Amino acid sequence: MAEISAEEIFKELKQHSIAEFFKKNRQMLGYAGKVRSMTTIVHEYLTNSLDATEEAGILPEIDVNVSQVSEDRYKIGVLDNGPGIPKSVIGKVLATVLSGTKFHRYMQQRGQQGIGGAGCTMFAQTTTGKPIFVKASTGAGKAYSCNLMVDTMHNKPIISNMQDVDENFRGLFVEGEFADIKYENSEHGVYEYIKRTALANPHAQIKLMDPEGNEHVFMRAVGQVPERPRPAQPHPLGLSVNDLLEFAHASDSKKVSSFLVDSFERVTSNKVNELKTIATGVDFSKEPKALMWPEAEELIKAFKSVKWIAPDASNVKTIGIDQITLALKNVLNPEFMNVVERKPSVFRGGVPFIVEAAVAFGGNAGRKTEEGYAGSILRFANRVPLLFDSGVCAITVATKDIAWKRYGIDMDTQPVSVFVNLSSVYIPYSGVGKEAVSQEDAIIEEIKLAIMEAARGVQHYIHGKKLISSEEGKYKTIMRYAKQLSQDLGEITGKDQQKIERSVNELVLKHYPKLKHGEDKTDEKDPS
C-alpha cells in the first residue's frame, strides 16, 4: 500500500458551524428518545418563559398546549405573559445557536448557553421540515408574528412571513410541529416535568392541555415574584491558576492590587495587604495583563492561606424554606417534613452556590411500587427539574452516599421524598442537555450535609412516632385490665368503683405523659 502524504490526509479539512455540529449531534441537546425529546422541548420553552417573566417583574402565567398530529408527531405551543422579544433580535434568540442574553453574564438564571430555543427550532425543521411560528409583543401595545428556521451551515436565522399583528397581544407565543417524539404519562414525561416545575416555582401558574384534551392547572401558591438576582463576582476560593490569568489579562485595572479588589468578591485593601505578606514573589504594582503563570500560581496558594468571608448570599437567590414548605405541602402533603438551607459556598472557578434540601415522609411522598413504597429523589438546579441522567448527577450520588438507616429511614421500602435544589450563578451541568449536575466534590459535600441535616429532623419524628406507638400499645394493654381491677378493688374495699377507676387511669397516665388528654402523635401536624 502506497504511503499517503499529510497534504492528502488534510485536504478535506473544513470548518463547521456550531449549528451544523448540534444538528448532527442532537442527543447532546437532550433529543435522545421520543419521550425525552418531547420533555426537552417543553423544558426549553418553559424555562425561557420563566426567566423572561421574572426578569420583567411579572408573575408568570404560562400555557402549554400539546396536540397530536399523527403517530409520534405533535404540535407544541407555549404562551407566556412576559415582555416579549424585540423584532430586531428574534432570529438571534430562537434561530441562532449560542446567541443569548445569559452566558456572558455572571448572574443566576435558568438558561445559560443560548442553545435551547434554537435547538428546538432545529429539531422541528430536521424532523418535519417545518419552521417555528412565533408571535411576540414589543411593548407599547405592538406585536408581530413570523416563521423561523436555522441556516445550519452558517448558524444564521431564516425569517419568513414577518408581519405586524393588529391585536392587543402581550407576551410570547411559540409553536412548532415536531416528529420522533411521544407524549407519555411517566416519571420522565411532560406532565411530571411541569408538576415539578410548579413545585420549585410556587409563584408561577402553569396550565397544560394534553393530547387527550385534558386541562391540568397548577395554581400559584405564592403571589410574589422572586427577587431578581444581581450580577455576582467570583470568590477567590475555588479559582484555578488559569481562571486568575484569564481574569487578569482581560482586566482594565492598572495594578494587580486594584485588579484583585475590583474583580473578586470579598477582596478588600486589607486582604490585599495580607496577601502581600504571603505571596512575596508577586509584584502587586504591575499591570494585571503582565501577570505570569508562576505569579498567578503563588497568588492561588496565598488565597488558600487566608481566611475568607463566605460569598455574598444576595447574589444567589434560593427558593426559600417557607416556599419549599408550601410547595411540598401542596403537591406531596407529607405526614412530616424538614426543610433546610445551607450557607453559601464555592466550587471550582470561585463560583458561589447554595444548596436547599428537604426530606418529606409519608403522605404522597416517595413513589408507589408493587411491593408498597420506595423513596424518590426530586432534583432541581436553579428551580429547574432534572428528570434524566440521574445516575451521573451529583445530587443522586450525594443522596445515595448517605447511610439512611442511621436516620431510621429506608429508601427502599418507605414513602420518602428527598428534595434538593442547587442555586448558583453558574450550574456545572454534566452535558449540554442540562439534565444532571457535574460531580464537583465541593457540591457533593454540600448536598450531603444539607440532606443529613434535613434527615435528622425526620429521624426525631420517626423515633417519636415509634415511641408513641410502643407506649400506646403498653397503655392499651394495661387499660384492658383497669376496669376489672377497679371493680375488684371496689368489692374488696367497699369504695366507689368509678372513683377507683378514675384514680387508676390517672396513675397510668402519669407513666405515659405523652398520651395525656388523648394526645396521639400519629396525628401531629407538621411543626415546620
* C-alpha distances out from residue 264 to 191, 233, 244, 443, Å: 42, 5, 10, 21
- The 10s digit of each residue's pLDDT in 388-398 is 889 999 999 99
pLDDT score at 301: 94
- The 10s digit of each residue's pLDDT in 324-356 is 998 898 888 999 999 999 998 888 767 789 999
Length of the chain: 528
- The 10s digit of each residue's pLDDT in 465-512 is 655 555 566 666 667 767 777 777 777 887 777 777 777 777 767 766
Q: Which is more confident, 170 or 167?
A: 170
CB 203 within 8 A of CB 59: yes
How large is the average pLDDT for residues 275-295?
Answer: 94
- The 10s digit of each residue's pLDDT in 186-203 is 889 999 999 999 988 999
Grid cell digits, residue 449: 450535609
pTM of the full structure: 0.73
CB 458 within 8 A of CB 409: yes
Mean pLDDT taken over the chain = 85
18-218: CATH homologous superfamily?
Histidine kinase-like ATPase, C-terminal domain (3.30.565.10)
* C-alpha distances out from residue 434 to 49, 87, 354, 430, 466, Å: 17, 28, 18, 7, 42
State yes or no: pLDDT of 460 exceeds 60.
Answer: yes
Specify the fold of 241-305. Answer: Helicase, Ruva Protein; domain 3 (1.10.8)
pLDDT score at 12: 65
| DSSP per-residue string spanning 405-438 | GGGT--TTTS-EEEEEEEEESS--BSSTT--SB-
State yes or no: pLDDT of 527 exceeds 50.
Answer: no
Where exactly does CATH 3.30.565.10 map onto the chain?
Answer: 18-218
The neighbour count for residue 457, using CB atoms within 10 Å, is 20
How large is the average pLDDT for residues 385-406?
Answer: 94
pLDDT score at 473: 64
Three-state DSSP class for residue 299: helix
Map grid coordinates 453558574 to a residue.
Answer: 426
Where exactly does CATH 1.10.8.50 map onto the chain?
Answer: 241-305
Where exactly does CATH 3.30.230.10 map onto the chain?
Answer: 313-461
Secondary structure element (H or E) that encloses residue 66, with its range: strand 61-70
Three-state DSSP class for residue 176: strand
pLDDT score at 101: 46
Specify the fold of 313-461. Answer: Ribosomal Protein S5; domain 2 (3.30.230)
